Chains A and B, each alone.
Chain A
Amino acid sequence: MAVARPGLPTATAAAAAGERAGGIPPSAWITALVLSIMPALASDFFLVQVFGWALVLGTIALSLQFLAGYGGMVSLVQMTVAGFAGYMVAILGTSGLTQISLGWPFWLAVPVSILLAVLFGTLSGALAVRTAGIYTIMITLAIAAAFFYFTRQNETVFGGFLGFNGVRAPVFWGIDCRSPVPFYYLCLGWAAIAFGLVTWVIRAPFGLALQGIRDNPRRMAALGFDVTAHRIAAYAFAAFLAAPAGILLTWMNGQIAPGTVGIGPVIDILVIAVVGGLGRPIGPFIGALLYVLLRIFALDALVALGLSGQRFQLLIGLGFLVTVLFSPDGILGLWERARQRWSGPAAGGGR
């Protein structure tokens, strides 16, 4: 029989039906409040380059957390799906590369880009779901690598090595989404929607069945579930979370190039999700914030110490190593164990 694996999330139909008391914890309310008044607290640099970036990377990592944590499928294709959406918005909308970009208005280019990225994610899923474990990782990595090299070599559609620059957020209803405050709210808005969708879906029949498939695919087939179709649908849902985040990332950088979808960023998303914790949807956001802070400030710290700024990758790698060695369920796991210890054995369970 399937053994309950520690650190893997579970959800119950009975709890979803509202049989168990317990609302949103106060810490969640405080986080939501702080995030929504952030523009009053933080400088423009922090708002976009730290929090905006962390929210966007966190959302892409959340799509991986959903597949890995609830579906048991570690997909390395999530950054590629996001990057694909970014490329589409550059190709269909406006960019500095006028001979390629079609110049569609944003209200058409954005939804079509998301749709195409979901299609891309679904097809990648259809290729990957018949494999398991290390082979899922390998096949999704292969798709990611293939897309990276393709964008680098294809000049006519993907703009080759240099990619697209001048891909900017739209201005509508008199709001300039390029300015820091509206852009921050765009990032926060999509991150919140994605987070809410995942928390909702994992307790809906679709998500419950996905967790059943994670634990015991053979039994799920013997209960009448089409395991393959269900897994592919999970990839489609995950792609839908990642695609808008990819567009936001492109707008934030003002450009999309092969470097955005390279093997490095693809692995970074995995590192973010694992370091944060695959147990719950908040994990990837914690991981993303840590990653962003490391990337920005480790550079200065290293230079001050007389080392090359490029060594920040070493720090991130070391952080990953330490996390998987000492806390396989990420920072979330560390946090929960610490809380259990503080609240003492009398409190029991801690949750």
Chain B
Amino acid sequence: MARAIAERLSATGTVNALELRGVTKRFGALSALDDVTLSVRPGERRAILGSNGAGKTTLLNCITGDFPATSGTIRFFGEDVTHFPAHERIRRGLRRTYQISLLFGGLSVLDNVYLACLGVSRGRFSFLRPRRDDPLLENARALVHAVHLDEVAEKKVAELAHGQQRQLEVALALAGAPRFLLFDEPAAGLSPAERADLVAILQGLPAHMGFVIIEHDMDVALRVVESVTLMHEGRIFKEGTPEEIEADPEVQELYLGHGRG
């Protein structure tokens, strides 16, 4: 594996955090993703925009392995992960949040985060109960604090407000030592105040932690990223800086136009 990485390094001079080549995903006759080629540098923050059905979430599902791609290759920090199951990709430092919160409603906030910390640790199969000063439990408490959920740490997740559940989604993705994150519409359904909170959390991430964010709210998306990829009908339509994308007449026509009428 080390040699494979070395070869990659010599071939391109740099290792991309994420490198997709010709990724295609078909559901029956429908091409949800059509020959998507994309590379994201380590530490880069990128927004993926596009109308409903453009294939944004499908792209994330292919990257994490929730659904395998029909064809094409996916490399994560140089390593070919195309045929890896989801949990193997996660253990290599990839993380994601879900558009519709996928949480453990019957467990407390702290336990949800504890499970996330456990998933990328060696103690997954442990029969020993955690002690009060268990490092994983300490990590979980720190993460709960980082997403401003201290007051509801012991509450059952099913009893949480929508905005708090979205914040918990982010906390689950931050567990362990993430190298790269995928956010799927983290601001969906949040109030303006909660959105500001989310922007603060995203901007506060360590500089080496790159991410890809799918977001309809331009005020959130364009404030936290340095590059933008625009998707349309399963294909990559345009790439550029937020300013370039906003200024592009074609883009305004297609996507930004009706929102900004």
List the interface of chain A (C-beta within 8 A of B).
1-5, 8, 10, 12-14, 16-19, 200-201, 203-206, 208-209, 211-212, 215-216, 218-227, 230, 233
Candidates B104, B124, B127; contact of A225 at CB < 8 Å: B124
Cβ of A224 to closest chain B Cβ, rounded Å: 4
Residues in B with CB closer than 8 Å to A14 are 108, 110-111, 114, 137, 154
Instruction: Produce 1/0 per residue, B137-179, CB < 8 A to A.
Output: 1001000000000000010111000000100000010011000
Cross-chain contact A216 with B102 (CB below 8 angstroms): yes
Residues in A with CB closer than 8 Å to B111 are 12-14, 208
Cross-chain contact A223 with B172 (CB below 8 angstroms): yes
Q: How large is the interface on B (under 10, 10 to 19, 20 to 34, 35 or more residues)?
A: 35 or more
Cβ of A232 to closest chain B Cβ, rounded Å: 11
Cross-chain contact B102 with A2 (CB below 8 angstroms): yes
Candidates B114, B124, B127, B165; contact of A13 at CB < 8 Å: B114
Cross-chain contact A204 with B106 (CB below 8 angstroms): no
Question: Provided the pairs A209-B118, A209-B124, A224-B87 are in contact, do residues A2 and B129 lie with their beta carbons within 8 angstroms?
Answer: no
Residues in A with CB closer than 8 Å to B96 are 222
Alpha-carbon distance between A2 and B105 when the two chains are bound, in angstroms:
5
Residues in B with CB closer than 8 Å to A19 are 132
Question: Provided the pairs A223-B119, A223-B175, A224-B176 are in contact, do residues A16 and B105 lie with their beta carbons within 8 angstroms?
Answer: no
Cross-chain contact A223 with B127 (CB below 8 angstroms): no
Alpha-carbon distance between A7 and B91 when the two chains are bound, in angstroms:
33
Residues in B with CB closer than 8 Å to A221 are 65-66, 85-87, 90
Alpha-carbon distance between A226 and B85 when the two chains are bound, in angstroms:
9
CB-defined A-B contacts under 8 Å, sample of 26: A1-B100, A1-B101, A8-B106, A14-B111, A16-B129, A16-B130, A205-B124, A208-B115, A209-B124, A211-B106, A212-B107, A215-B106, A215-B107, A216-B104, A219-B103, A219-B172, A221-B65, A222-B66, A222-B86, A222-B87, A222-B90, A223-B119, A223-B120, A224-B91, A224-B119, A224-B120
Tell me the total A-B contact number using a CB cutoff of 8 A: 141
Other 20 A-B pairs with CB < 8 A, given A10-B107, A200-B127, A219-B104: A1-B103, A2-B104, A14-B154, A17-B130, A17-B132, A17-B137, A18-B132, A204-B127, A206-B124, A206-B127, A211-B106, A215-B105, A216-B104, A221-B65, A223-B87, A223-B115, A223-B119, A223-B172, A224-B90, A225-B87
Alpha-carbon distance between A203 and B102 when the two chains are bound, in angstroms:
22
Chain A minimum-CB-distance residue to B120: A224
Residues in A with CB closer than 8 Å to B118 are 205, 208-209, 223
Q: Which 5 A-B pairs have CB atoms at the shortest separation, nearest pair first?
A: A223-B119, A224-B119, A4-B106, A224-B90, A219-B102
Residues in A with CB closer than 8 Å to B58 are none
Q: Which of B85, B102, B115, B176 has the most chain A CB atoms inside 10 A of its CB?
A: B115
Cross-chain contact B119 with A4 (CB below 8 angstroms): no
